[in-house]
């Protein structure tokens, strides 16, 4: 019996959990030594990860995969790193499709911030080969390709390569590229390519500017993150997640990118959504205050209306989705499981349903199905819009 029954649900956020060294198989051999030197990521499988890989070969362990489909997390989850297992994972979950992101490569290894442009481009290409190969086992798995913006001339080329490989969405960082704005006019060929292909531009947590470490020096013992480790993703550093996407969306609207490409959809994935109503209000307020600027006078509508037309976001399961819908628009929010990450929880459907208490069926359908279909455009085969058993609904 699948986790979801009686409703078509598309999952806007899931991940693979790459074993250490996985990316090396997809890197240009000429770049591997430089990649290890700059990132410290060697092509090795430490003992703990070797045990995780062996566990997925154990028949007794695998026999509990269906019962534990949302209980087993990270490397213990079925289909976390073995592509051949992921179709069965989707069967057990009951999702109509799943947008799939990396785990290890979310920040492109920090290469863009290091100024390692050539290596950043090659790492992105390797990521795109890895993701599209993994997702090729089942058309319900929608691969994401990463496009660094550091080289404005070559960004469209990398995007075109990713699309040719089978990517169904193009991820860019939510932070600005070193030295220029993400709204730079020379990036227009990238937006044009995505719009023509009918694929969305996506932002995902990991691509944002992190909180300055000075904020953590408070004279008290350092707080461990909720995994129990020292990565220091805590209640304080969590607060910085929306800052980059807030700024990037602002310049994309104000500088006219959304208007020049009105059919291009953008998705903010695993970045939360409680900030969205405030951004929409603040943009409208700012444009009213500075309304004499020529670029603002050229906008096709109020910024909030432009965002409502082209932006879709995934709330966290601990956010008040009904409040976000009421204050931003029911057409803007999407369901996501974050499978197999711990952050997604063990029963995301219940948590979201509880948050949607009092919301009508049409709005719920938008949250679980319609808004995802709208976001993905040509990236989602129409045959996948509904589960086969519900296709006539």
**Per-residue pLDDT tens over the stretch 362-389:** 999 999 999 999 999 999 999 999 998 7
Nearest to 268 by CA among 333, 222, 191, 199: 333
CB 283 within 8 A of CB 328: no
- CATH code of 10-383, in short, is 3.20.20.140
Q: Quick one: pLDDT at residue 231? A: 57
The two structure tokens encoding residue 159: 């995007």
d(CA 315, CA 323): 11
Instruction: List helix spans (H) across the chain.
Output: 32-39, 47-55, 59-62, 86-93, 111-114, 117-135, 155-165, 188-197, 241-254, 257-260, 276-289, 294-297, 303-310, 321-328, 348-355, 361-365, 371-376
Nearest to 317 by CA among 363, 370, 375, 367: 367
**Per-residue pLDDT tens over the stretch 154-205:** 999 999 999 999 999 999 999 999 999 999 999 999 999 999 999 999 999 9
Q: Quick one: pLDDT at residue 391? A: 61
Phi, psi of 71 (to 5 degrees): -90, -35
Chain mean pLDDT for the chain: 95
Mean pLDDT across the stretch 260-288? 98
**Per-residue pLDDT tens over the stretch 205-249:** 999 999 999 999 999 998 887 655 555 679 999 999 999 999 999
Domains of the chain, residue spans? 10-383
d(CA 140, CA 95): 9
**Per-residue pLDDT tens over the stretch 112-155:** 999 999 999 999 999 999 999 999 999 999 999 999 999 999 99
Q: Quick one: pLDDT at residue 46? A: 87
Nearest to 288 by CA among 254, 336, 332: 254
230, containing H or E segment: none
**Per-residue pLDDT tens over the stretch 40-67:** 998 888 888 999 899 999 999 999 999 9
> How far is CA 271 from its chain centroid?
8
> How far is CA 148 from its chain centroid?
15
Q: Quick one: pLDDT at residue 393? A: 45
| 3-state SS, residue 335 | coil
């Amino acid at each position: 019996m699948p986790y979801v029954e009686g409703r078509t649900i598309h999952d806007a956020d899931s991940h693979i959990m790459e074993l250490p060294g996985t990316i090396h198989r997809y890197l240009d051999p000429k770049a591997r030594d430089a990649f290890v030197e700059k990132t410290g990521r060697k092509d090795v499988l430490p003992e703990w990860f070797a045990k995780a890989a062996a566990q997925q070969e154990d028949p007794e362990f695998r026999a509990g995969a269906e019962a534990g489909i949302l209980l087993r997390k990270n490397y213990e989850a079925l289909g976390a790193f073995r592509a051949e297992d992921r179709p069965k994972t989707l069967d057990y979950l009951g999702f109509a499709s799943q947008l799939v992101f990396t785990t290890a490569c979310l920040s492109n290894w920090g290469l863009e911030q290091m100024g390692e442009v050539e290596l950043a481009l090659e790492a992105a290409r390797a990521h795109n080969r890895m993701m599209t190969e993994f997702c090729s086992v089942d058309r319900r798995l929608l691969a994401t390709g990463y496009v660094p913006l550091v080289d404005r001339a070559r960004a469209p080329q990398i995007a075109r390569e990713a699309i040719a490989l089978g990517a169904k969405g193009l991820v860019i960082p939510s932070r600005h590229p070193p030295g220029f704005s993400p709204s730079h006019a020379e990036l227009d060929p990238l937006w044009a390519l995505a719009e023509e292909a009918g694929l969305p531009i996506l932002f995902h947590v990991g691509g944002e500017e992190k909180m300055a470490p000075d904020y953590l020096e408070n004279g008290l013992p350092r707080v461990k993150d909720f995994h129990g480790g020292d990565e220091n993703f805590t209640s304080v550093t969590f607060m910085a997640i929306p800052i980059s996407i807030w700024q990037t969306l602002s310049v994309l609207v104000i500088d006219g990118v959304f208007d020049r490409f009105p059919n291009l959809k953008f998705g903010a994935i695993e970045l939360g959504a409680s900030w969205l109503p405030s951004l929409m209000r603040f943009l409208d307020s700012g444009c009213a205050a500075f309304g004499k600027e020529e670029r603002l006078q050229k906008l096709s509508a109020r910024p909030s209306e432009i965002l409502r037309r082209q932006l879709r976001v995934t709330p966290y399961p601990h956010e008040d989705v009904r409040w976000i819908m009421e204050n931003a628009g029911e057409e803007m929010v999407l369901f996501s499981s974050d499978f197999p990450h711990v952050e997604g929880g063990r029963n995301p459907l219940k948590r979201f349903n509880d948050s949607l208490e009092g919301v009508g069926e049409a709005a719920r359908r938008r949250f679980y199905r319609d808004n995802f279909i709208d976001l993905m455009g040509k990236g989602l085969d129409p045959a996948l819009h509904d589960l086969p058993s519900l296709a006539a609904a």
